[in-house]
């Protein structure tokens, strides 16, 4: 896993209230303190903002805002993973497991079930 993702995952873990995270001084701790629906709402918002940034980038040819919004989406997805005691490494492992397996073949194998 990239060291940036690993460090960020550690920081997010340290912001859990049971690990001493303080909602008064930490955005992540504040999000944890608001509860699951607040985290899910942010994921929804950031997904929509990503879609809008992609549509804008298609028109303007300027894609910096898209990178920014995807970073927001990844970050909030990492907060969600932490909420369920999951790690980015588990997502990376799943992507690695799928490596070389065409999405079309995978879909066809599901339809054969």
Residues in CB range of 19: below 8 A, 6 or more apart: 13
At residue 53, what are phi and psi to the nearest 5 degrees? -65, -35
CB of 79 to ligand PRT, least distance (A): 8
Q: What residues line the site for ligand PRT (CB under 6 A)? A: 8, 11, 15, 26-29, 45, 72, 75
Give the nearer residue to ligand PRT in terms of CB position, either 26 or 50.
26
Least CB distance to ligand PRT at residue 31 (A): 7
From CA 110, how far away is CA 113, in angstroms rounded? 5
Smallest gap from Cβ 109 to ligand PRT, in A, equals: 37
């Amino acid at each position: 896993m990239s060291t940036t993702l690993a460090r960020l995952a550690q920081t997010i873990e340290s912001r859990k209230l049971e690990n001493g995270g303080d909602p008064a001084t930490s955005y992540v701790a504040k999000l944890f303190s608001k509860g699951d629906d607040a985290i899910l709402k942010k994921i929804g918002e950031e997904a929509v903002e990503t879609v809008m940034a992609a549509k804008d980038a298609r028109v303007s040819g300027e894609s910096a805002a898209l990178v920014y919004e995807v970073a927001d989406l990844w970050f909030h997805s990492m907060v969600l993973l932490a909420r369920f005691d999951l790690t980015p490494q588990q997502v990376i492992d799943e992507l690695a497991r799928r490596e070389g397996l065409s999405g079309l073949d995978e879909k066809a194998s599901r339809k054969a079930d």
